[in-house]
Structure 1
Amino acid sequence: MFHPLVRVVRPMLVVAGALPFAALAQTEQALQPIVVTATRAPEPFADAIAQATLFDAQDIADTNSSDASGLVALAPGVQITRNGGPGASSGLYIRGASSAQSLVLVDGVRVESAGLGAAQLSQLMLDEIDHIEVVNGNVSALYGSGAIGGVVQIFTKEGGNHPPRFNFEAEYGSYHTQRQQLGANGALDQDGRTTFNVTVSREKTDGFSSIDPAVAPNANPNANGYLNESVAAALRHAFTDKWDGGVRFLQSNGINSFDDAYGVPTDLNKSHDRVRSASVFANGRLTDRWTTHFTLAQGQDRAAIEQNGVTTNRFDSENRQFVWQNDFQLARDHKLLFGYEHVDQSLDSDELAAPDRHVNSVFAGYVGRIGASQFQANVRRDQYSDFGGANSYYLGYGYNFDAHWKVTASYAASFRAPSFDDLYYPFSGNPSIQPERSHSVEAALQYASGKIGVLRLTAFQTRYTNLIDYAGDGSGFYIAQNVGRAKIQGIEGSWEGHVGATDVRASFTFQNPLDETNHEELTRRARRFASFTAHRSIGAWRVGGEWIVSGARNDYESTLAGYGVVNLSARYEITKSWYVDARIDNLFDKDYELAYSYNTPRRGATITLGWRQL
């Protein structure tokens, strides 16, 4: 949706109005990738005022995970929970914000459930993804509701200006896991004005029992398998030197077997899930200073629960979006953006009836630099058909001491609109509740150089008011009410770079996620967690590993112990086209929990054979 022309590459793209600090050497500039999510406009990664993380195509090839949630777990400030194995429902927590308070976009398109207010991140497979950007912190002023904790933006693969090329992978591993992927991309004409990409993938695993029968005796002890079938396609055409447009499509279908702690041991439960993103876009240069971008899109989230062959409930959400964004170059180092967004959100369910929601939004932003000072300001007004309006703003400042060191500070106000479950679910919904509100402040110290990459240390605090909580009404029912308050403060560090020829990614977070209403820690948020990855190319080999650690966390019925998990990988280039990849997950066979009573995979291994046309 935002600047589909921008592609993440290792050499930096020089974008007018988004230039790095003037003292940076040209050799330093050439190593900076481009990100767009932190400002809704292209900028060098090291120039972002907000904490930003970039996972590019090499990071996707290196990771042991097969879905987006596993990769995003390596970002600073991010925790992932999962109710079982692959395909099971997962939770996304950015700086302690819940899944409903952390926004997920696919090519700029909202794909969350209207009922829950959260997206099914575990259904989005990496085979179809080109790169992922994560922005931590309060950015509703850029993206509207749900961006209190931050934004995860997923960019699907596109074609390149070269003859059509094909690729495939076949994988087999523990739990009888099988994965196949086939792709093609390139140009459809000699001058490269029309490019395309098509990727299809399938993953199937027998899995393991998702719930420990020792904790929940009524759960079925059988293995819980998962099947995912996904497809992504993109087509882009340059009509003139100033106008281009195209279409993008992503659909992921998952069937996940799961356990029910409150059923009987013979129950067979399945969830049928779908995430879809489809968009048509156009980009044009109206003048030398003014570019405009149009996107018409549809995002879907579908979920149906089946028990013993009978569908018991169904939730079909749809988000229809129109976005018009304009970027105006005021001067060389000063850019203004402004635009309009319209969203129609609907829910079709056999559990609740809800009227369609209509949202009209206007937004504006400014990024600029005066000498060593860097500025960012964003404002947004969202008008909802069901509860009224909400205002958001973001103010950021950065100061470069020299070519490498800088400090940043920001202050922001955000909101989360009530979900349809909050408003209309039978016996618990409350149509009169209002949006949750938050105010955030953060300050950071950053060092960036071409030799070691970008290191950043950030202190942050977010205060939540008007939180939606479910309080008893005296008759045995719990009704949604705006009664909650919370405060999350902490320190996070990140490093994306290299030591010599070794690519390194490291992060740590120390936080205090406090429920001020009940004076206790927020559930499933660890006070301390970290990750570290290192990968190195040695001749025809690329070897590396991941280390993910977390402290103890409170859950609804227990305290989850801390854990540390190590994953290893090795890839060998047999020829320029053929390669083989081997991975070991949970090397030390750790027994740990991401959610109370739910099992996690023990030690496992996979091997992949791949081919790409050169």
Structure 2
Amino acid sequence: MLGLGCPKQAFAKIATPRLSLGYDFQDDSIDSSESFAETSRNNHAVFIQYQGQFANNEFILAYRSDFNQQFGQNSTWNASWGYAFDNGILISASYGTGFKAPTFNELYFPGFGNSDLNPEKSESYEVGVSGEHNNWNWSLNGYLTYISDMIAYDSSIFSPNNISKARIMGLEAMIGGQIYGNDLQVNYSALDPESMDAATFGNVLPRRAQQTFRFDIDRQIGTASIGSTINVEGRRYDDLQNTRRIDGFVTWDLRAEYQFFEQVTLQGSVNNILNTQYQTAAGYNSPGVTVFFNLRYAPTI
């Protein structure tokens, strides 16, 4: 179960203030041929969110209280603010806290789980600026997250373990638009995920690429469309000690769809067309070339 954390808020024009109240119930249970020490738990939560606007200022306030059967009561909250200029530029800032309970596999899977795990708790800060213009848009966001008892795979004990303190600092940039009838979007992310635990201080957190790049291009041709994605991910480490390095990789995907009738669309995709052999966790190969077809029927009401 994950608390509110500090999500990237998508600000929209709010004609009138909105107050939302809710209750959430989640029941987790295990049905497996493996023998788990525990097989069920539940989580009750209540939450409240307020969205408001004053002049060109937009803000969101939210609070959530979870009662987890295994880990007790935890409260999280966040606050976000944005200011929209008349020229299409929006600046924003947010702060939030988060809570994440370990999964049953992390706790109890035979030969892997660690029943001594504590839940993760975090606090996050984010600032950003974005723009919406005639045929293009862009955004730049920076964020900083501190995590207590972060859950990560520890190769020294061959199971998940808690990192007493970790810090994740990142920068994300995006630019998109339309050129000669083509819809283009470029995304770049730079990440500095660092352990602040005494035993691994300064090491890169495992299984997190420090740089990623994605390029999308799509074109509409009558009732058909075609598109392509190039995805680049930099190197990462598989362990907290940073002794096992996983190389970066590049994948290329193609997609297309054709609308036969107003309600019927045929979609197809070829993923990893270069048949790149890569891993995001050591010892676990990712799929090579994969082909998917999908026939979608969406009746009008």
Q: TM-score, normalised by structure 1?
A: 0.41
Shift of 1:567: 2.4
1:514 is matched with which residue? 194
Could you tell me how far apart the structure 2 residues matched to 1:569 and 1:480 are? 37
Shift of 1:390: 0.7
Task: Evaluate the alpha carbon distance shift between residue 528 and residue 576 of structure 1 in structure 2; reply closer, same or farther with a 3 A threshold.
Answer: same
Could you tell me how far apart the structure 2 residues matched to 1:558 and 1:344 are? 37
Could you tell me how far apart the structure 1 residues matched to 2:21 and 2:271 are? 46
1:458 to 141, 144, 147: 141
1:494 to 174, 181, 191: 174
1:562 to 248, 251, 274: 248
Shift of 1:536: 0.7
User: Which digits, 9 at most, give the CA deviation of each residue in 1:457-491, with x for residues without a partner?
Assistant: 1000111112346889xxx9778765522111010
The answer to whether the 8 A contact 1:578-1:609 is kept is no
Shift of 1:593: 3.1
Give the AA of the match of 1:566: W
Shift of 1:559: 1.8
What SS does the aligned partner of 2:280 have?
coil
1:393 is matched with which residue? 77
Shift of 1:448: 1.7
1:592 to 278, 281, 288: 278
Could you tell me how far apart the structure 2 residues matched to 1:492 and 1:374 are? 22
What SS does the aligned partner of 2:279 have?
coil
2:100 is matched with which residue? 416
The answer to whether the 8 A contact 1:430-1:480 is kept is no
Residue 357 of structure 1 pairs with residue 37 of structure 2: no
Task: Evaluate the alpha carbon distance shift between residue 479 and residue 570 of structure 1 in structure 2; reply closer, same or farther with a 3 A threshold.
Answer: closer
User: Which digits, 9 at most, give the CA deviation of each residue in 1:553-588, with x for residues without a partner?
Assistant: 112473222222222345566888988777554444
Could you tell me how far apart the structure 1 residues matched to 2:26 and 2:296 are? 41
1:485 to 162, 165, 170: 165
Task: Evaluate the alpha carbon distance shift between residue 150 and residue 597 of structure 1 in structure 2; reply closer, same or farther with a 3 A threshold.
Answer: farther
Could you tell me how far apart the structure 2 residues matched to 1:479 and 1:401 are? 50
Give the AA of the match of 1:414: G
Task: Evaluate the alpha carbon distance shift between residue 409 and residue 574 of structure 1 in structure 2; reply closer, same or farther with a 3 A threshold.
Answer: closer
Task: Evaluate the alpha carbon distance shift between residue 388 and residue 529 of structure 1 in structure 2; reply closer, same or farther with a 3 A threshold.
Answer: same
Could you tell me how far apart the structure 1 residues matched to 2:100 and 2:88 are? 36
Residue 369 of structure 1 pairs with residue 49 of structure 2: no
Shift of 1:514: 1.1
Cα RMSD between the aligned structures?
A: 3.7
The answer to whether the 8 A contact 2:123-2:145 is kept is yes
Relative contact order, higher structure (CA 8 A, sep 6+)? 1
Give the AA of the match of 2:253: N
Q: Which runs of 5+ in 2 are unaligned?
A: 9-13
1:24 is matched with which residue? none
Give the AA of the match of 1:550: E
User: Which digits, 9 at most, give the CA deviation of each residue in 1:274-305, with x for residues without a partner?
Assistant: xxxxxxxxxxxxxxxxxxxxxxxxxxxxxxxx
Task: Evaluate the alpha carbon distance shift between residue 400 and residue 601 of structure 1 in structure 2; reply closer, same or farther with a 3 A threshold.
Answer: same
The structure with the larger Rg is 1
Give the AA of the match of 1:494: M
Residue 341 of structure 1 pairs with residue 24 of structure 2: yes
The answer to whether the 8 A contact 2:89-2:130 is kept is yes
The answer to whether the 8 A contact 1:506-1:531 is kept is yes
Identity, % of aligned positions: 26
Show the 5 A alignment for 1:35-46. none
User: How many pairs align?
Assistant: 286
Give the AA of the match of 2:81: Y
Q: Which has the higher strand share?
A: 2
User: Which digits, 9 at most, give the CA deviation of each residue in 1:320-355, with x for residues without a partner?
Assistant: xxxxxxxxxxx9531111222333333344422326
The answer to whether the 8 A contact 1:580-1:607 is kept is no
2:207 is matched with which residue? 524
Could you tell me how far apart the structure 2 residues matched to 1:385 and 1:584 are? 44
Give the AA of the match of 1:531: R
Mean Cα deviation higher: 497-506 or 360-369: 497-506
Shift of 1:528: 0.5
The answer to whether the 8 A contact 1:430-1:479 is kept is no
Q: Which runs of 5+ in 1 are unaligned?
A: 1-100, 104-139, 142-147, 152-330
Could you tell me how far apart the structure 2 residues matched to 1:343 and 1:607 are? 32
Task: Evaluate the alpha carbon distance shift between residue 497 and residue 481 of structure 1 in structure 2; reply closer, same or farther with a 3 A threshold.
Answer: same
Give the AA of the match of 2:182: T
Could you tell me how far apart the structure 1 residues matched to 2:144 and 2:80 are? 15
2:121 is matched with which residue? 437
Shift of 1:381: 1.2
Shift of 1:386: 2.4
Residue 505 of structure 1 pairs with residue 185 of structure 2: yes
Mean Cα deviation higher: 361-370 or 351-360: 351-360
User: Which digits, 9 at most, give the CA deviation of each residue in 1:388-425, with x for residues without a partner?
Assistant: 21110101110112241010000111111233355556
Task: Evaluate the alpha carbon distance shift between residue 577 and residue 394 of structure 1 in structure 2; reply closer, same or farther with a 3 A threshold.
Answer: closer
1:198 is matched with which residue? none
Task: Evaluate the alpha carbon distance shift between residue 576 and residue 463 of structure 1 in structure 2; reply closer, same or farther with a 3 A threshold.
Answer: closer
Could you tell me how far apart the structure 2 residues matched to 1:539 and 1:470 are? 49
1:227 is matched with which residue? none
What SS does the aligned partner of 1:443 have?
strand
2:11 is matched with which residue? none
Task: Evaluate the alpha carbon distance shift between residue 336 and residue 560 of structure 1 in structure 2; reply closer, same or farther with a 3 A threshold.
Answer: same
Could you tell me how far apart the structure 2 residues matched to 1:607 and 1:425 are? 32
What SS does the aligned partner of 2:209 have?
coil
Give the AA of the match of 2:170: G
Could you tell me how far apart the structure 2 residues matched to 1:383 and 1:589 are? 46
Residue 467 of structure 1 pairs with residue 138 of structure 2: no
2:234 is matched with which residue? 551
Give the AA of the match of 2:190: F
